[in-house]
Structure 1
Amino acid sequence: MTSERRILLWMCLLVGVNQLGFGAMVPSLPLYASSFGVSASAIGLAVAAYGLARFLAVLPGGQLADRWGRRPVLAIGGLISAVGSFWCAEAHSFVEFILARIVAGAGAGIILTIGQIVLADISPPDRRGRNIATYQAAFLLGFGVGPFPGGLLAGAYGLAAPFLMTGVASLLTTAIAWFLVSETRSARTSAVASGKAAEIPFIRQMLGLLSHRGFLLVSLISLMNAVVRTGGLFALIPLLATTTLGLSVTEIGFAMMVSGVFGFVAAYPAGWLADRIGRKAVIVPSTVLTGMSMVLFCYAPSYAWFIAASIVWSVAASISSSAPAAYVVDTAPAGMNASAMTAFRMTADAGYVIGPPGLGLLADLTSSTVAIISASVVLVSLGAIFAVTSPEKRSSAQR
């Protein structure tokens, strides 16, 4: 087995385990937050606090990955996430729960950022889409399967129990990072390119990348995907499904698990297409499909339609998982993988910060349906602008 494939294999195991734990608490999160007697906008704050911590952890995580190496920083992220998750399960007030979510989010931000940096390090342009798609397939499978055991745990042992599962998964993530993942900091960057990149301050590298029109637009698409996912799927849709369809946490978790299987199947073909026909040809349709899935969630008349909406969303998320990251790495100059993925992750995670409280507040003022559809319209509009104005980036950046 080549070094590239071996690292990819362990990274897939790492992110699969990590997202299995994360997915476990998704169905119960809004219900657990509401058990403290707070409003929809406050429930959004519980999701946003996690996203804010992820956002703030991205920059120091990327810098440390360049200074200390990818492997130790991955392990540190797992430990921080575990501490926060266990604390969530033991929180005695909403304020304490928010603080615990901040700690867990910081660890998650480090893990997700360094994971994408590792993939950028090991992937040549002609296999970049497929490598990232394979990694994202493991991500989606873990995230898709997690809600079902999480729902069962919540139903049997209470709404706090899935957070314990998340903490255990974070500890396993730490072990995989430390004992199985090889260091990739110099995997595909020449000493000359690395030296030239090091002469430019890290933050200036990020700002320079964000001034590129295509890089900025694909990052904004990821931002709005995060708004729709966290503000809609994580915060409002479980409540909407509970009140309008009478679904239990276990039923919502089962629907997400079924959809995760479909997303897993769609991931690799999407990466192959991104390598063969270009990144834009995958990014634009998946953006439209995400908007359609939100409409299905809002107007689902039955549990079967809710499952169908979950499948459409999961397939759209799977299709869009590899091409944007591949586009970002294609755009980045040699030696700037860490700064490129850091800028991309920070922009995307900003959606995690503004989405839940923003859509929660809009839902309080209007309705959950209006909030979710409004965010979807903005997302699809950005996809259309990207389709018309951004240059194609397929295998053009040689490492």
Structure 2
Amino acid sequence: MLRKRKEVLIVLCTIAIIMMIGIGIVSPILPHYARSFGVNIAMVGLLITGFGVARILVDIPAGRLVEVLGRRPMLIAGPALLGGASFFCALAKTYPQLLFFRFLQGLGSGLYTTAAMVMLADISNVRTRGPMMSFYQGAILIGAGLGPTLGGYIADIWGIRAPFIVYAFMAVFATAWAYFKLPETKSPKTVREICDDISIDESGDARPGATFMGSILKLFEKKEFLLGSLVTFGIFFTRTGTQNQLIPLLGADRLDLSASLIGTVLTVVTIFQFLALLVAGRLSARLPRKILITPGSVALGIGLALVAFSRSYWSLIVSAMVMGTGIGLAGPVISAYVADTLSREEYGIGMGLYRAISDIGFVVGPVMLGWLADRGGFSTPILLNASFVICIACVFHIFARETAR
């Protein structure tokens, strides 16, 4: 049984690497591709926001679908939709077409990510969940790290539309890999559980799925689930708001760094995140979750504060090291913590809602921090981000109970 679970984990990680390489392949050319349609910078940003909004919209329905249809169909449909949308992104003739197909990419990404998190919860227990989540997050980082470099070379050799074509073929491969290699991990429902999903209205007619909203509302009553989701919201808020948006702008405007040096700073964040993931994965099997989550979140906040006060390239590098370490320690363990708070019957809806809350941070971060930076410079929004993350860590540590001892 353990060997089978490890095989499923390896397949999920392989697909994650392929998917993240694909996302990374298009990231360096996406702004330039959008500008080729004659749009302004705000419309370029809308392509990223639209992708995130699509994920938010599909996260919770995907959680429901994995319970009704199973994990495997969603893990096949997600990459398939991504592949088709990527192909049509390459063929787009107008900006609205490109925006629409980017939205479809977000839907495919949301389907896959939610189903993958649920399957990881299925094949793990309290002792193995932390290491498995860390291993999976490490695979995501590997793919994300390889993608941008490949995308730049592909665009230089074959043109600016080529990365989307390559992404489409990679998604097709991921779809086939999921189809042939992934088993179904959803437990068959008992007659009683199926009946619980059907309520009777006043006319006496059965209404399937009437408990869907009730299941969501029940999750909002779980303090530990909400606190864990809030920590992840803060991490996603930071990744897109400060890490991917304000740090590059600060490096260019305040420190006059070249694009390559800014890229090096972001790479340092990823490297230290990966190293911390390895440590967190090993420790999470033996230590309580909060011992890793709280220090990791505080370290992230300290790293952000150091970014705000950076006045040289090397001080920014040190800040990136601290940030990456914090994200790596807290990120995968908080996912395991949230899964711990759910019963097996709640995995689908629970992980869908968890992903939706995370993706709200993904979308809100760049908009809010960018707006603040336009009005008060870089230091104020980054320090507010740091304070927010540290406050969340303190609230989590004080009020959340431990789920693994």
TM-score (norm 2): 0.85
Aligned residue for 2:400? 390
Aligned residue for 1:75? 76
Q: Distance in 2 between matches of 1:359 and 1:384?
A: 22
> Is 1:363 matched with 2:369?
no
Of residues 59-68 and 190-199 in structure 1, the stretch that sits farther from structure 2 once superposed is: 190-199
Listed as ranges, the matches of 1:235-384 within 5 Å are 235-245=245-255, 247=257, 251-253=261-263, 255-257=265-267, 259-384=269-394
What do you get for the CA RMSD once the two structures are aligned? 3.0
User: Which 5+ residue runs of structure 2 have no aligned equivalent?
Assistant: 199-209
Listed as ranges, the matches of 1:216-231 within 5 Å are 216-231=226-241
**Residue 30 of structure 1, CA deviation:** 5.0
Aligned residue for 1:5? 6
Alpha-carbon distance change, 44 to 231 in structure 1, aligned in 2, over 3 angstroms: farther
- The 8 Å contact of residues 63 and 350 in structure 2, kept in 1 or not, is answered as no
AA in 2 matched with 1:8: L
- The 8 Å contact of residues 304 and 385 in structure 2, kept in 1 or not, is answered as no
Q: Distance in 2 between matches of 1:286 and 1:365?
A: 30
Aligned residue for 1:38? 40
Mark the structure with the bigger radius of gyration: 2
**Residue 295 of structure 1, CA deviation:** 3.8
AA in 1 matched with 2:215: Q
Higher relative contact order (Cα pairs below 8 Å, separated by 6+ residues): 1
**Residue 67 of structure 1, CA deviation:** 1.9
**Residue 336 of structure 1, CA deviation:** 1.5
Of residues 97-106 and 149-158 in structure 1, the stretch that sits farther from structure 2 once superposed is: 149-158
User: Which 5+ residue runs of structure 1 have no aligned equivalent?
Assistant: none
Q: Distance in 2 between matches of 1:347 and 1:243?
A: 32
Q: Distance in 2 between matches of 1:193 and 1:222?
A: 34
- The 8 Å contact of residues 144 and 258 in structure 1, kept in 2 or not, is answered as no
Deviations 1:21-60 (A, max 9, x none): 2233444545655665524x55543322111100111122
Aligned residue for 2:150? 149
Q: Distance in 1 between matches of 2:390 and 2:322?
A: 15
Q: Distance in 2 between matches of 1:43 and 1:147?
A: 18
Q: Distance in 2 between matches of 1:272 and 1:227?
A: 26
Deviations 1:62-96 (A, max 9, x none): 22212222112111111212233344445455444
Of residues 348-357 and 3-12 in structure 1, the stretch that sits farther from structure 2 once superposed is: 348-357
**Residue 163 of structure 1, CA deviation:** 4.1
Deviations 1:194-219 (A, max 9, x none): 55875682332222112211211211
- The 8 Å contact of residues 70 and 185 in structure 1, kept in 2 or not, is answered as yes
Aligned residue for 1:111? 112
**Residue 119 of structure 1, CA deviation:** 0.3
Alpha-carbon distance change, 84 to 367 in structure 1, aligned in 2, over 3 angstroms: farther
Deviations 1:364-389 (A, max 9, x none): 33334433332332222111111111
- The 8 Å contact of residues 373 and 380 in structure 2, kept in 1 or not, is answered as yes
Alpha-carbon distance change, 330 to 92 in structure 1, aligned in 2, over 3 angstroms: same
- The 8 Å contact of residues 50 and 101 in structure 1, kept in 2 or not, is answered as yes
List structure 1 segments (4+ residues) > 6 angstroms apart after TM superposition.
Answer: none
Alpha-carbon distance change, 19 to 293 in structure 1, aligned in 2, over 3 angstroms: farther
Alpha-carbon distance change, 4 to 193 in structure 1, aligned in 2, over 3 angstroms: farther
**Number of aligned positions between the proteins:** 392
Alpha-carbon distance change, 280 to 302 in structure 1, aligned in 2, over 3 angstroms: same
Q: Distance in 2 between matches of 1:352 and 1:124?
A: 28
Of residues 122-131 and 330-339 in structure 1, the stretch that sits farther from structure 2 once superposed is: 330-339
**Residue 184 of structure 1, CA deviation:** 1.0
Listed as ranges, the matches of 1:208-219 within 5 Å are 208-219=218-229
Q: Distance in 2 between matches of 1:279 and 1:197?
A: 33
Alpha-carbon distance change, 355 to 45 in structure 1, aligned in 2, over 3 angstroms: farther
Q: Distance in 2 between matches of 1:272 and 1:162?
A: 36
- The 8 Å contact of residues 82 and 166 in structure 1, kept in 2 or not, is answered as yes
Of residues 146-155 and 207-216 in structure 1, the stretch that sits farther from structure 2 once superposed is: 146-155
Q: Secondary structure at the match of 1:276?
A: coil
Of residues 270-279 and 64-73 in structure 1, the stretch that sits farther from structure 2 once superposed is: 270-279
TM-score (norm 1): 0.86
Alignment partner for residue 233 of structure 1, among 210, 228, 243? 243
**Residue 320 of structure 1, CA deviation:** 2.0
AA in 1 matched with 2:387: V
Q: Distance in 2 between matches of 1:32 and 1:366?
A: 30
Q: Distance in 2 between matches of 1:380 and 1:331?
A: 22
Q: Distance in 1 between matches of 2:94 and 2:305?
A: 34
Q: Secondary structure at the match of 2:115?
A: helix
Identity of paired residues, percent?
A: 32
Q: Distance in 2 between matches of 1:175 and 1:226?
A: 30
